[in-house]
């Protein structure tokens, strides 16, 4: 978690970011914050880092700066244990969104999604191992990744 890029930094200053991270942060509009909005975000971000000892992590691919600000404000009161779990969930969400982007193809219409349900309890299943497997074409069939 500590190695994750800080959302508060300008993308231009973070040349070591992956292309995916640069695009996601740019799309969220984080670099367009100014004045009071930027000061508020910076203050909350610094409070978060001081409290939890790692940067605020959020899957920002489909987020706006308002979503990011709201999530940061909402997660600041968390306990360290709850926040580590929330941050890890976001890391997994980032990875999942990137996999969807890399493996979506116009020649295979549709949107890949995965929901594992605990039907006995009527809620999302926890601690399930998931394997993403490509079935075709035969020359590239096999396990793509595992979660």
pLDDT of residue 76: 94
pLDDT of residue 120: 66
Determine which helix (DSSP H) or strand (DSSP E) holds 134, and give its type and residue range.
strand 131-134
DSSP-H helix ranges across the chain: 19-27, 35-52, 65-75, 80-103
Known catalytic residue at 115: no
Structure letter (DSSP) for residue 9 = S
Alpha carbons within 13 A on the beta-carbon side of 86: 18
Per annotation, catalytic residue among 2, 3, 4, 117: 4
Q: What percent of the chain lies above the pLDDT cut of 70? A: 69
Q: Of the ranges 5-19, 77-91, 95-109, 132-146, which one carries the lowest mean pLDDT score?
A: 5-19
Structure confidence by residue, pLDDT tens digits, 90-114: 888 888 888 877 766 566 555 556 6
pLDDT of residue 50: 95
């Amino acid at each position: 978690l500590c190695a994750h890029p800080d959302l508060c930094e300008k993308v231009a200053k973070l040349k070591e970011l992956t292309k995916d991270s640069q695009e996601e942060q740019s799309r969220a509009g984080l670099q367009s914050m100014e004045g009071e909005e930027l000061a508020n975000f910076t203050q909350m971000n610094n409070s978060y880092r001081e409290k939890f000892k790692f940067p605020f992590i959020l899957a920002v691919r489909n987020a706006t700066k308002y979503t990011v600000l709201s999530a940061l404000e909402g997660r600041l009161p968390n306990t360290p244990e709850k926040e580590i779990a929330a941050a890890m969930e976001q890391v997994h969400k980032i990875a999942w969104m990137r996999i969807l982007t890399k493996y979506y193809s116009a020649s295979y219409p549709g949107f890949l999604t995965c929901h594992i349900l605990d039907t006995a309890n009527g809620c999302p299943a926890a601690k399930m191992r998931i394997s993403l497997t490509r079935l075709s074409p035969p020359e590239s069939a096999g396990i793509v990744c595992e979660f």
